Amino acid sequence: MDALKPIPATTPVAAAPSKPAEPLYDSSRVHIVCAEPSIANHFLAELRDVTVQHDSLRFRRNLQRLGEIIAYRISSQLSYTDKTVTTPLGESSSKQLHDFPVLATVLRAGLPFHQGFLNYFDQSPSAFAAAYRIEGTAQVQVQVDYLSAPSLDERVLILADPMLASGKSLVQTYRAMLRFGTPRQVHIAAVIASPQGVEYVTREVPEANLWVAAIDDHLNEQAYIVPGLGDAGDLSYGSKL
């Protein structure tokens, strides 16, 4: 066998590949639905597409569809009870939900997304909160006067809002809802999230599992998600004054 020849000094040596940056959150509690190809990717692409966004009916329907898909994914984390049902030809053993989760959302953009969850968890009670951000800043105010919810004690809570930007509205809404009791399990769902929002929510609500269709690149100076999709409320229901 020939001896190995030394590498000439003039030959560049490739640098070792750098490791990707570690996420600033517990990735085991963050579930990215569109990380792998599925029909969810198609619905998300239509939500983002400016040539499709003018159709507000389709925009709302795609938010519903993604709500349904994420609801199905969350359902695998819930508790079930063995039950025997009678069919026209005999009996069949099955698993049925131990109890339906409480579905909460933030008005107004959250309504179509919430409807997707309600389509699947059709026996669930609902909770609602009104929140708004002062335009041009990341400041969020939750209108507690408009907060309504059933008892949350020992219930499963799913808090859904399509855009997880800074995360402050979701965290403030969740904390306000705790006046109605302490859930035994918490899931927070969004269509599009920013890395900053994911880090904030997982730090401030460590007991929650977070479900998102996609995590985008960053927040801009006005705290909007980039590339995002724009204002989900305006695209669903028309622009506001």
Q: Higher-confidence residue: 175 or 18?
A: 175
**187 in a structural domain:** yes
Quick check: 227 pLDDT over 60? yes
Residue 219 lies in a domain: yes
Instruction: Say if 64 falls within a structural domain.
Output: yes
Cβ atoms 195, 215 nearer than 8 A: yes
- Percent of residues, the chain, with pLDDT higher than 90: 75
Res 13 pLDDT > 50: no
What does the mean pLDDT of the chain come to?
88
Tell me which residue of 157, 217, 223 sits closest to 192, measured CA to CA: 217
Q: Contact at 8 Å (CB) between 208 and 156?
A: no
What is the pLDDT averaged over residues 141-161?
A: 86
Pair of tokens at residue 177: 């809802």
User: Using one digit for the tens of pLDDT, what is the confidence trace for 31-40?
Assistant: 999 999 999 9
Total of domains in the chain: 1
User: Beta strands 218-219 and 80-87: pairing type?
Assistant: unpaired
- For residue 175, tell me if it sits in a domain: yes
Q: Is residue 81 part of a domain?
A: no
The reported pLDDT for the residue numbered 4 is 43
Reported confidence tier of residue 108, pLDDT bands at 50, 70, 90: confident
pLDDT at site 35: 96
Q: Print the domain residue range for 51.
A: 27-76+100-230
What is the DSSP annotation of 136-186? TSS-EEEEEEEEE----TT-EEEEE-SEESSSHHHHHHHHHHGGG---SEE
Question: Rounded to whole angstroms, how far apart are CA atoms 156 and 138?
Answer: 29
Q: Mean pLDDT throughout 187-201?
A: 97
Segment among 15-19, 114-118, 126-130 with least mean pLDDT = 15-19
pLDDT value, residue 20: 42
pTM listed for this prediction: 0.86
Residue 65 lies in a domain: yes
- 186 lies in some domain: yes
Close Cβ partners of 106 (under 8 Å, ≥ 6 residues apart): 128, 129, 130, 131, 161, 169, 170, 173
Q: CA–CA separation, 223 vs 138, rounded Å?
A: 6
CATH code of the domain containing 216: 3.40.50.2020
In a domain, 143, yes or no: yes
pLDDT band at 150 (very low <50, low <70, confident <90, very high): very high
